[in-house]
């Protein structure tokens, strides 16, 4: 589940604050539900807690893009997302750093300068207030 849904009961976090980013604490908080994912297939090496973190602090600076949690790529290099309006999508990853092989070790996360897949995640995770 997106960390931006429920988001530490509205408290600021290390991966983004409101403002400038919108948190989703109830259904009426979604202003673009067809553009905001809620559930995701997470890479098995990245599963370490109850939510998927999208680091919004560097956005829109793609040179500081960070991927603390990694989406899955089970579907021929693609990942399943379900959105707040109820529809689902399979999104194909373009950058090989977004689709690492399963190693059964903890995902290291970190900066992924220039990763356009993170730019896509930013655009579907939350919106500026």
pLDDT at residue 50, rounded to an integer: 86
Q: Which domain range does residue 117 map to?
A: 1-129
- Give the total number of structural domains in the chain: 1
* DSSP β-bridge partners for residue 83: 37
pLDDT tens-digit map of 39-57: 999 999 999 988 999 999 8
Is pLDDT at 7 greater than 90 in this prediction? no
Quote the radius of gyration of the chain (alpha carbons, Å).
14
Model-level pTM? Answer: 0.91
DSSP state letters, 50-109: SSB----TTTT-GGG-B-SS-B--TTTSEEEEEETTS-EEEEE--SGGGSPPP-SS----
């Amino acid at each position: 589940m997106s960390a931006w849904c429920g988001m530490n009961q509205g408290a600021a976090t290390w991966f983004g604050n409101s403002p400038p980013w919108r948190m989703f604490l109830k259904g009426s908080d979604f202003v673009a539900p067809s553009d905001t994912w809620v559930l995701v297939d997470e890479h098995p090496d990245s599963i370490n807690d109850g939510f998927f973190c999208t680091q919004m602090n560097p956005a829109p600076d793609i040179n500081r893009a960070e991927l603390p949690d990694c989406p899955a790529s089970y579907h021929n290099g693609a990942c399943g997302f379900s959105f707040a309006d109820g529809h689902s999508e399979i999104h194909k990853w373009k950058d090989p750093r977004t689709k690492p092989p399963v190693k059964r070790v903890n995902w290291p996360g970190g900066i992924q300068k220039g990763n356009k897949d993170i730019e896509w995640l930013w655009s579907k995770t939350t919106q500026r207030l």
